[in-house]
Amino acid sequence: MANRRTKATTIALGLACAPFLCCWIIIASCCCPRRLHPHGESGEKRRFEKRQTMAPRPLPVRPPERALTMRRRTAEPESEVQPQTPRGVTRNQSASRLMQLPLELRQIIYRAAIGDSVMHMVTKKYKLGHQRCKAPTIAECPEQYSFFSPDNVWSPLGEPLDNPPATDGDILPLLLTCRQIYSESIEYLYSTNTFSFSDLDCLRYFSSTILPHRWSLVQNIDIEWCISWPIYDPLAQALLISRPALYPPHDEATWEGTWRIIGQMPSLKWLRVRLMYFDGFRDSACEEKLLAPLRQVTLPRTFTVHLNWAGEEIEGAPFRAIRPGTRESLFPDEEWA
Instruction: Note the pLDDT tens digit of each residue in 161-216.
Output: 455 555 666 788 888 888 899 999 999 999 999 999 999 999 999 999 999 999 99
CB atoms under 10 Å from CB of 223, counted, come to 21
Residue 143 counted as domain residue = yes
Domain count, the chain: 1
Range of 227's domain? 48-55+94-336
Spatial strand order in the sheet of 194-197? 127-132, 118-124, 194-197, 220-226, 270-276, 302-307, 320-322
Cα-only R_g, the chain: 26
Residue 7 counted as domain residue = no
Q: Is the dihedral of CA 209, 270, 262, 134 positive or negative?
A: negative
Residue 3 counted as domain residue = no
DSSP assignment string, 155-194: EETTS-TTSPPP-S-SSHHHHTS-HHHHHHHHHHHHHSSE
The answer, yes or no, to whether residue 44 has pLDDT greater than 90, is no
Residue 208 counted as domain residue = yes
**Helix residue ranges, H only, the chain:** 2-31, 40-53, 103-114, 172-175, 179-191, 200-209, 212-215, 234-239, 252-263, 284-291, 327-330
Residue 24 counted as domain residue = no
Residue 27 counted as domain residue = no
pLDDT in tens, 59-115: 776 655 556 666 654 444 444 444 444 555 667 777 888 989 999 999 999 999 999
Distance CA 251, CA 256 (A): 9
Angle at 278 between CA 277 and CA 281, to 5 degrees: 65
Residue 291 counted as domain residue = yes
Distance CA 326, CA 214 (A): 37
pTM: 0.76
The answer, yes or no, to whether residue 270 has pLDDT greater than 50, is yes
pLDDT in tens, 235-247: 889 888 778 889 9
Residue 287 counted as domain residue = yes
pLDDT in tens, 120-170: 898 888 888 888 887 777 777 765 444 444 444 545 554 554 555 556 667
